[in-house]
Amino acid sequence: MKNPCDTPLLSKAFKTPKQIARRTLDREILEELIYNTQTLRDRLIVELQARCGLRIGESLKIKVSDVSDRKLVLKEPKSGKELEVAFMPEQIAKRLHDYIQQENLSPEDRIFPICYSTAKALIKNLGGRLNVVLTPHDLRRYSATYASRNGVPLEIVSKVILRHQDLKTIQAYLGRVTESEAIPLDGCFTWEIVGLTS
Q: What is the pLDDT of residue 181?
A: 40
Q: What is the DSSP letter of 25?
A: -
Q: How many residues does the chain have?
A: 198
Q: What is the pLDDT of residue 44?
A: 95
Q: Which domains does the chain have, with CATH numbers?
A: 22-172 (1.10.443.10)
| pTM above threshold 0.85 | no
Q: What is the pLDDT of residue 119?
A: 93
Which residue positions in the chain have pLDDT lower than 50? 176-198
Q: What is the pLDDT of residue 82?
A: 80
Q: What is the pLDDT of residue 179?
A: 43
Among 62, 81, 61, 80, smallest CA distance to 71 is for 62
Q: What is the pLDDT of residue 126?
A: 92
Q: What is the pLDDT of residue 83?
A: 86
Neighbours of 95 (CB within 10 A): 17
Which class for 59: exposed (0-12), middle (13-18), buried (19 or more C-beta within 10 A)? buried
20-35: pLDDT as tens digits: 555 678 889 999 999 9
Q: What is the pLDDT of residue 95?
A: 95
Which distant-in-sequence residues (6+ apart) come within 8 Å of 15 by Cβ? none
Given its phi and psi angles, is residue 145 left (phi above 0), alpha (psi -120 to 50 degrees) or beta? alpha
